[in-house]
Amino acid sequence: MNYKSFIKNKEIKTKSKGIDVEVSDINNVLFPFQKDIVKWSLKKGKAAIFAGTGLGKTLMQLEWSKQIHDKTGENVLILAPLAVASQTAREGLKIDLMVRLVRKNEDIQSGINIANYEILHKLDLTKFGAVVLDESSILKSFTGKVRNSIINGFNFFPYKLACTATPAPNDHMELGNHSEFLNVMNRSEMLAMFFVHDAGQTQKWRLKGHAEDKFWEWVASWAVMVTKPSDLGYEDGAFDLPPLNMNEVVIESKADEGHLIPVQAETLSERRKARRESLEGRCQEAAKLANNTKEQFLIWCDLNDESKRLKELIPDAIEVKGSDSPEHKENAMLNFSEGNIRVLVTKPQIAGMGLNWQNCRNMAFVGLSDSFEQVFQAIRRCWRFGQDREVNVHIVISEKEGAVLSNIQRKEKDFNVMIEGMVKFTKNITKKNITTTVQEKAVYEGLKDMRLPSFLKGESNEYIRTENQRRICDL
């Protein structure tokens, strides 16, 4: 191999191994930007769709599945969170697509099948040739059992699609796990190529200063990132969100012994104590909000005692807790979607992902954890594209818990800044990729020609380019 070929092999390539379809072959129910994303992901064969909540990931993954089955004959398995599977099957009817709900191997049929992540270990994966991960942020846990079973179980599948909301730009492990699932590059290789340890702390990684552009260019070669249609050059139209009204309801707290005024809880134990002390007052205020309207209301809790007390204070409330059966959870969430339940009381860990609840515009947080992602996703169940009314979010919190709220607000600000940065880096690349389905790579041009010393030369006396190429080898 000569030096020029050696340098050529150093390029990062994400090859397209999928199927070609015409935009005209894609269902007209989809918006133009959705059609182009589907066409691109089919061409790639293995791809990720990182799209903002409400941008139609469900319809896109269903159309992708239909095209894969029609063109290849492969059976498709869609994996989704609890209750989302039934919702997805109903969405399939919008494009005249039958999606089979699977709870055991005997349910599997030719075509498109959908199951919850919880039963993955029960399924015979040899019956499928294509897989879709709905809410693929489940891969976030890079050491988790579920993460490993997904990556290993579908390792040799020829067609894969991962769909989730736009990931946090600083959560590089999530991106690395998606890349590994899609057989692009494993997590360790990604870290070695683009990152360095931060200040000697082996668990903290940061992008190499000169690699930021190249890193996002690489991500955009296998994933499309979009927060709204205009990111890809389309009109936003109906995808403009209505106003979001954030209301803080502060419950007075008693001052601790030795203090004139309540002191904010700082440590975890202090926060738990403050939360217990204010439980009754917070539940009373949240119940008052829900009982003073005839509209649907969604109440998010953090503690089981909060959920139990709210069920007592709100006559028509339905409670969904972790110990409930999967059937009760699924039925309650679907009935809330259909408007058959007015008030639903549950936790973000249970119902905070994947569900479409634009039918509701009122919610309250009776307990906050420090997880910004949980709060963000919970709000987005109602405040998402397709919502045509103002959304009211009430945060009911005690005086002593102010530190928790400020922490969430700080994380939200940081998240928005980072998302803007990520979209800035990938916007033009992504727009180009989904319209051409070909990843363009930079051409390495040396600054000058240089003759190789005789002791390094092989049989060939060809001139090679070195100055820039040596830098490439060092990356």
Instruction: Say how far residue 322 (Cα) sits from the centre of its chain.
Output: 22
Q: How far apart are CA 263 and CA 99, in angstroms?
A: 55
Low-confidence stretches of the chain (pLDDT < 70) are 1-16, 141-143, 166-171, 198-204, 253-268, 370, 402-405, 418, 421-422, 425-426, 429, 433, 435-475
Question: Do β-strands 201-207 and 195-198 pair in parallel, antiparallel, or remain unpaired?
Answer: antiparallel
pLDDT value, residue 443 = 47
pLDDT value, residue 475 = 43
Q: Do domains 3-238 and 241-414 have the same CATH topology?
A: yes
pLDDT value, residue 3 = 62
CATH class of 3-238: alpha beta
Q: How far apart are CA 168 and CA 140, in angstroms?
A: 11
Supply 91's token pair: 């969405």
Supply 357's token pair: 């609840």
Supply 220's token pair: 């955009």
Is-contact 226 181, C-beta < 8 A? no
Is-contact 18 44, C-beta < 8 A? yes
- Reported as type and span, the H/E element at residue 313 is helix 304-313
Beta bridge partners of 196: 206
Contact partners, residue 249, CB within 8 Å, separation at least 6: 285, 289, 394, 395, 396, 397
Q: How far apart are CA 322 and CA 350, in angstroms?
A: 7
Supply 360's token pair: 């509701």
Q: How far apart are CA 107 and CA 373, in angstroms?
A: 34
pLDDT value, residue 16 = 58
With H, G, I as helix, E, B as strand and everything else as coil, classify residue 312: helix
pLDDT value, residue 447 = 61
Supply 199's token pair: 């200040």
- Reported as type and span, the H/E element at residue 405 is helix 402-436
Q: Does domain 241-414 have CATH number 3.40.50.300?
A: yes
DSSP 322-371: TTS-HHHHHHHHHHHHTTS-SEEEE-HHHHSSS---TT--EEEESS--S-
Is-contact 421 440, C-beta < 8 A? no
How far is the first Cα of the chain from the last one, in angstroms, to the nearest whole number? 20
pLDDT value, residue 77 = 97
With H, G, I as helix, E, B as strand and everything else as coil, classify residue 19: coil
Contact partners, residue 103, CB within 8 Å, separation at least 6: 115, 119
Structural domain spans, the chain: 3-238, 241-414
